[in-house]
Structure 1
């Protein structure tokens, strides 16, 4: 039998990359951490970590066991919630969301949840996808509203990850530019036409994505500013600092003096979805996922555009 505490120790080692840092996080001695890992390796009959001068990394067997550890943690957290519900008669849902998606999609979805399940207590925390999916995996939150650009969803999802990913909507990115710009009247613009332009962006991941798209188009963008807020970035565009690349759902509220132009295909796009623990069948969680899908469909049909 595999000891749950040893799985917890392995997760900490994987997260912190060393026995010493894992020991501090767990309030154990490094020797105790080492003993737990050694016992786990004896139990599974395989090495789960590889030690080197640069720290500790997981072996293929270790990655499998960390996935199992995360699934166990999520299941235990769910069990605690169910037991709490038996005592209080109330369901608690914890939600992690990125800012623009939460602002646009969550409020009315939560209103629908409250109508259907008025006893549900909801807690919302702001978190970027690279942080929110691990929170779901270990049971710290019940649902993550997240996004990704090219490639698969952030983190590990799928049948062996313990997570389920439900796609909600595609969120194309648009070029935001002053309404006096020569390209402001275009129906669409090719990204290569913007090679000489300076940029101000509303997200570090958007900056990285712009650099990726620009690289494919054969240029390196000149980024003059990166903020953590798309409205702030658009305000800087209005001040004449450069252009911006903004997802559709982050184009409101409007900023005077700006124009939004779609990018010609293949247009850069965010893919928005929700991550939940696989096999969760709570009525409240299912209601919230359904409400988010309905809200995303409404927003997708009424995409906001600046004129």
Structure 2
């Protein structure tokens, strides 16, 4: 392996035909040029120049390096330019895994903010629920994961290898058809809904819901299970069941025949952004994490 600085000097010596001319053009002394060429020859293990009278002539190895020198320097220059563009956020890519309600609320605000200032940044978004999305981050399938947790210790991801930003607390609400007897209440006790038919969501949400019902003293009758938030509201509107959902969902989908009420005892999930420890220093990752924090602040009205 040889130093690219020596290759640049070598290329100038070949172009000008002498150490002295290369030294003048590069602002070095002639002995400095001579020392660098000796160092280059040591690194490649063979002489690159021979003297014929007062002229320099390339050896066979020197001829090979001369043919490749401009390509080597061009590739280095291109790499430097591309890395500079990434560092200055003129280009780059960030891959984000997010659960659907975050994709519909936090992500659009964050992406719009980034694109308005850094149009060259490419953002890839994939829908994924936790804990699978956190494991995808650890596998290197994405750069950032948006995930939610409830209070159960088993749901909290091991954090030694993760850099985490808590974004917001997302209160749970109960969705009722407009004609439901409890629809006029300002809030609804979960225990009051023990005899209802239910529509449940994703695995993590469904598990937490069942645990909450057990605490309230009943086992829910779950007739439908779907991750589709619009489908949940449509089923509620049709009178086929009721549902407990995070309030984020109602911020972007609001069926006209469905009402939402706070559920008691008050409950919520915590939404956070994760990246691998140390990766928050990568410019495009740091930019996205900051944009998500600002989007969460805006959503909370701060």
Three-state SS of the structure 1 residue aligned to 2:172 is strand
- Please give the per-residue CA displacement for 1:212-255, whole angstroms capped at 9, x wherever unaligned: 00001110000110111121011101111111111111113221
1:155 Cα deviation (Å)? 6.1
Task: Give the C-alpha shift of residue 164 in structure 1.
Answer: 1.4
2:270 equivalent in structure 1: 271
2:253 is aligned with 1:253: yes
| Higher mean C-alpha displacement, 282-291 vs 268-277 | 282-291
Please, which moves more after superposition, 271-280 or 107-116? 107-116
State the Cα distance separating 1:110 from its structure 2 match. Answer: 1.0
Partners of 1:189 and 1:264 within 8 A in 2: yes
Give the Å deviation of 1:152. 4.8
Partners of 1:151 and 1:198 in 2: how far apart? Answer: 25
Match of 2:170 in 1: 171
Name the counterpart of 2:205.
Answer: 206
1:117 paired residue number: 118
Q: What's the RMSD between the two structures over aligned residues?
A: 2.3
Structure 1 residue 116, shift from structure 2 partner: 3.2
* Structure 1 match to 2:286: 286
In the TM superposition, residue 87 of structure 1 has moved relative to its aligned partner by: 9.2
Checking the alignment, whether the CA contact within 8 Å between 2:93 and 2:284 is kept in structure 1 is: no
- SS at structure 1 position matched to 2:300: helix
> Size of the alignment, in residue pairs?
218
Q: Do the aligned partners of residues 190 and 236 (structure 1) sit closer, same or farther apart at CA in structure 2, a change above 3 Å counting?
A: same
Residues 199, 222 of structure 2: 8 Å contact kept:
yes
Q: Structure 2 vs 1, CA of residues 269 and 84 (structure 1 numbering), >3 Å: closer, same or farther?
A: farther
Q: Does 1:86 align with 2:86?
A: no
Distance apart, 1:154 and its partner CA? 4.5
Note the 1:123-272 alignment, pairs <5 A.
Answer: 123-152=124-153, 154=155, 156-158=157-159, 160=160, 162-251=161-250, 252-265=252-265, 267-272=266-271
After superposition, the C-alpha distances for 1:52-92 in whole angstroms (9 at most, x for unaligned) are: xxxxxxxxxxxxxxxxxxxxxxxxxxxxxx99953985321
Question: In the aligned structure 2, how far is the partner of 1:214 from the partner of 1:85?
Answer: 55
Alignment of 1:17-166 (within 5 A): 85-86=82-83, 90-152=91-153, 154=155, 156-158=157-159, 160=160, 162-166=161-165
1:10 matched residue in structure 2: none
Unaligned ranges ≥5, structure 2: 1-78
Paired position in structure 1 for 2:297: 297
Looking at structure 1, the residues matched to 80 and 178 of structure 2 have their Cα atoms a distance apart, in angstroms, of 58
Cα distance, 1:174–1:250 mapped onto 2, change above 3 Å? same
Q: Deviations over 1:78-121 (max 9, x none)?
A: xxxx9995398532111111111111110120121223333222
**Equivalent residue of 1:111, what SS?**
helix
Work out whether residues 204 and 227 of structure 1, in 8 Å CA contact, stay in contact via their aligned partners in 2. Answer: no
**Distance across 1 between alignment mates of 2:154 and 2:115:** 29
* Alpha-carbon contact 2:149-2:156 (below 8 Å) kept: no
The structure 1 segments of at least 4 consecutive aligned residues displaced by more than 4 Å after TM superposition are 82-85, 152-155
- Taking a change above 3 Å as real, the CA distance of residues 263 and 83 of structure 1, as seen in their structure-2 partners, is farther
- Report what 1:78 is aligned to: none
State the TM-score, normalized to the length of structure 2: 0.67
Alpha-carbon distance in structure 2 between the residues aligned to 1:150 and 1:85:
44
